[in-house]
Homo-oligomer: A and B are copies of this chain.
């Protein structure tokens, strides 16, 4: 039986739609790698009564409760007080924590308020979890049948303390860590991926393996977690099956994103890329340059939204634009070839399309996109008709061209 873990978060801002709680998903993902699925997650506001009730309920059910929020300096921050009340113990000042908070304020050149001293008060008997990244230390206590971790809600502090103080302890309690694998797919429709994985997921020899499946559009992530003594070899066997099923649609085995894969392949080959974007308006360049070190492979991108710009910067003939329209195969080709010529790069990719909501016609409805990649052995062009709104058409187009680049860079 898996360890019973629950998550409890507190803060009015979580109940007014001001903040989407991304900490929990992060922790759940980490716990999944340990073979643990969180049983329940509860959010309550900064209310003494609601918080006390939630503390009592979660610690009565779970073996581990990971709580976040309510450790700030203001009156609304009730976590330490409510936990102490539930334990039937007083709050006590921890001199070491107070000194650390004071030192932090001095280092930042800010004045410590009396309120901040509150952050050095903990339920008697608590194990204090020092916070290198903020003023609020966390703490750990025994309450009900649970081990209760109380952490700050600020994401970087929450994650830091989880990595330091929570996950190692849960790993020890959860027992043998299963072997986990992740592959990322692109260019596969969601329904197809689901259907294709079914025989693997249902196979008797994989009983006991936990499969996870996530449509992180336009990517699909498939992961599995194998318990038991033969776990690593078993996880690798499944990887073999998944590779046979999806082949080239797998762009990463592990956590890599698509753009870093493309940049890494270019760098490994000593090659360069230029971009000529119309409908994506700079999104492809933005994705490429989000990768540290992109400057080694990417000298130049242009966003030629106007026809005149396509002509002036890329040498796309005005006659070509007049004859075929800006959204056409010949113009996509001319944009890519023009960009490659002028930038002197190994490769150049171009996109021209109708992202909407306006601009569609019966022959070229919204979602029509022409794409081209010019390279050492010629120019490849293709056309798509993507569904969805402006954002979706732009994003799908950008990922499509990066994926084609990835496939071209795999060869040779």
Contact = CB atoms under 8 A, between A and B. Distances in A.
Interface of A: 12-22, 24-32, 37-45, 47, 50, 54, 57, 212-214, 221, 275, 277, 280-286, 288-290, 292-295, 298-306, 308-309, 312-313, 342-343, 356-358, 390-391, 394
B300 A301 contact: no
**Count of identical protomers in the assembly:** 2
Contact of A44 (B39, B50, B308): B39
Most-contacted residue by chain B among A12, A14, A28, A29 (CB, 10 A): A28
Given A18-B214, A40-B54, A288 B294 contact: no
Contact of A19 (B214, B285, B309): B214
Contact of A281 (B24, B42, B285): B285
A292 B358 contact: yes
A282 B303 contact: yes
A22 B25 contact: no
B20 A32 contact: no
Contacts of A214: 13, 18-19
A150 to B, nearest CB: 18
Given A20-B22, A40-B54, A213-B18, A300 B290 contact: no
Q: Which applies to chain A's interface (DSSP): helix, strand, loop or mixed? A: mixed
Contact of A303 (B30, B32, B54, B289): B289
A303 B12 CA distance: 42
Given A42-B42, A286-B282, A301-B282, A18 B50 contact: no
B282 A283 contact: yes
Nearest to A283: B286
Contacts of A38: 15-16
Contacts of A300: 302-306, 309, 313
Contacts of A342: 312
Given A281-B286, A303-B282, A390 B292 contact: yes
A42 B45 contact: no
Nearest to A308: B299
A293 B16 CA distance: 33
Nearest to A285: B282
Contacts of A303: 275, 282, 285, 289, 300-303
A281 B292 contact: no
Contacts of A302: 300-303, 313
B45 A50 contact: no
A5 B293 CA distance: 49
Contacts of A13: 214
Contacts of A25: 17-20
Given A282-B301, A300-B303, 10 more contacts: A15-B38, A16-B32, A18-B29, A57-B57, A280-B289, A281-B290, A281-B301, A285-B285, A289-B305, A300-B302
